[in-house]
Amino acid sequence: MRIIAGTARGRRLQAPPGRDTRPTLDRVREALFSSWAARVPGSRFLDLYAGSGANGLEARSRGAETVVLVDRDARALEVIRRNVAGTGLTGDIRVVQARLPEELLRLGGPFDLIFADPPYAFEAHEALLTAIASTRLLAEEGVLCLEHGRTVDLPDAVAGLSRRRVRPYGGTVLSLYGWESAGP
C-alpha cells in the first residue's frame, strides 16, 4: 500500500494488524481520486473508519486543505500516526478516536469529501448514512463515498442524500452520495 500521487507519491504505508480493517486497494483508490481530481485541492476531507489513513493521506498529498482521520481502534490510530509521520505530510491533519456513527458530531464539518470504509462485519450502512445526513457533516455540494462489499444492499436515497453513482471493482463497490437538493 502506498500514496499514489501528489507530494508524497510513492511513500509506503503500514496497515493495522488483524483482519478487522479492509484496506482500499491501490487501483480502487486511484480510480476514486482520479474522478475527484478537481474536487480534492483545497477541500476539507473526512476519512471515516480510516484504518491505515491511506485515503485521507492520499487526499492531503493531492492538496486537500484539511484532513480528519477517524477510527475507533487504538492500534489503527497508532498506525495512522506512524503513516502521517512517514509520509512527511504537514498541515491540517487531525487524527481522532471516535465511536461511529455515534460520535459524528465531534468531528466538525461540513466536509467537501467524505470517505467511509466500515469494517467487514459492519451492518449499519443505512444508519451511518442517516447520521451523516442528520449531522450535516457533508457540505451542500459535497460528495460522500461509501466503500462496501458487493453483497451489501444500500438505499438509493436516505435522509436527503441520494446515490449518484455505483462503481464496482471486483468484490468492492464504491457508492457515491450527494444531497438531493444539489442536483445531478
Domain boundaries, the chain: 1-15+23-120, 154-184
H-run or E-run covering 84: helix 74-87
Mean pLDDT of 34-45: 96
Contact 169, 28 (CB under 8 A): yes
Locate the DSSP E strands across 15-137.
Answer: 44-48, 66-71, 92-97, 111-116
Task: Answer whether residue 22 shows pLDDT above 70.
Answer: no
How many angstroms separate the CA atoms of 138 and 64, rounded? 15
Mean pLDDT of 48-69: 96
Q: Render 161-176 in DSSP notation, one character per residue.
A: EEEEEEEEETTEEEEE
Reduced to 3 states (helix: H, G, I; strand: E, B; else coil), residue 111 is strand
Percent of the chain with pLDDT over 90: 77
CATH 3.40.50.150 corresponds to the domain 1-15+23-120 = yes
pLDDT tens-digit series, residues 134-149? 999 999 999 999 999 8
